[in-house]
Structure 1
Amino acid sequence: MENNSDLNNQAAQYTLCFNTRCPKAENCLRHSMTQYTTAQNIRLSVINPLCYPAAGKECPHFRSNKKIRVAWGFKKLYDDMPARISRAIHLNLEAIFNHSPYYRYRNQKLGLTPKQQECIRQVCRKHGWKEEIQFDRYTEEYDW
């Protein structure tokens, strides 16, 4: 688990929720992080209490306090592929993510969510690549 100073720094960076009546409060990252606010946090971003959803409605600000497995980079993705397949996959992925974000994902500047990882796997399968996709590295992170 991260130490309290790391969590305190994260709490100061994100919009927090102090709604104790929310049925999802115990599983909400925005609510969980409120316990790490201290007097050192001069400013906090907080969800307006007047904007809490009505009873029975889904909160649009909910963020799960469970970590997700984020993949970073896929520079070696094309190494073992035939040129015909790798070119088709490259063009398809660049069309999905757009030019600049594609290269940021590939070069580990942006992390790939599990949904994006699955998208890459599906594109590879669509073009005939049956091997398992390995990303350059993985981390466990909160899904802000």
Structure 2
Amino acid sequence: MKTDFDYQAVPQGFIHCFKDDCSRSDTCLRRLAARHCTADKPLITILSPAAVPADSSQCSYFLPIQKTRVAWGVRNLFDDVPLSLAADMRHQIVSYFGKTHYYRIYRK
């Protein structure tokens, strides 16, 4: 499987798997992250090989490698919402995400 993997996109605390003899390691996101591990992050979270069951098809930590299409920016989020509701909705979103994060999303 060809992937354009950017290790910088791996979130802090993401569990890496270093189990080489797993039958699903070619399609596991945790194993892919472990293969591309760099010295930029000297501390990572790893999965104990003892925690992986002998039958790897039953592994509860398995994450399939799949691309997800996402959209950034919310400039037109309130276009179809009545003005009387939009102000309250915006306030709730800002209180959930915080002003800084909300405006980062808003501006893409």
1:57 to partner: Cα distance: 5.8
Aligned residues: 103
Partner Cα separation in structure 1 for residue 39 and residue 87 of structure 2:
54
Structure 2 Cα separation of the partners of residues 66 and 18 of structure 1:
20
Name stretches of at least 5 consecutive residues in structure 1 with no aligned partner.
110-134, 138-144
TM-score by length of 1: 0.47
Determine whether 1:101 maps to 2:101: no
1:1-144 to 2 correspondences below 5 Å: 1=4, 6-7=6-7, 9=8, 13=12, 14-37=14-37, 42-55=42-55, 58-83=58-83, 86=86, 90=89, 94=92, 99-101=95-97, 106-109=102-105
TM-score if structure 2 supplies the norm length? 0.57
- C-alpha deviation, 1:26, in angstroms: 1.4
Contact 1:11–1:34 (CA under 8 A) maintained in structure 2: no
SS at match of 2:22: coil
Q: Which has the higher contact order (CA 8 A, sep 6+)?
A: 1
The SS at the match of 1:46 is strand
Residue 31 (structure 1) shift: 0.6
Distance 1:66 1:105, change over 3 A: farther
Deviation per residue, 1:53-110 (Å, 9 max, x gap) = 352663232223222123333232113433356468x38xx4xx7932386775345x
Deviation, structure 1 residue 17: 0.5
Alpha-carbon distance in 1 for matches of 2:86, 2:32: 43
Q: Taking structure 1 as reference, are residues 22 and 56 closer, same or farther at Cα in structure 2, changes over 3 Å only?
A: closer
What fraction of aligned residue pairs are identical, expressed as a percent? Answer: 24
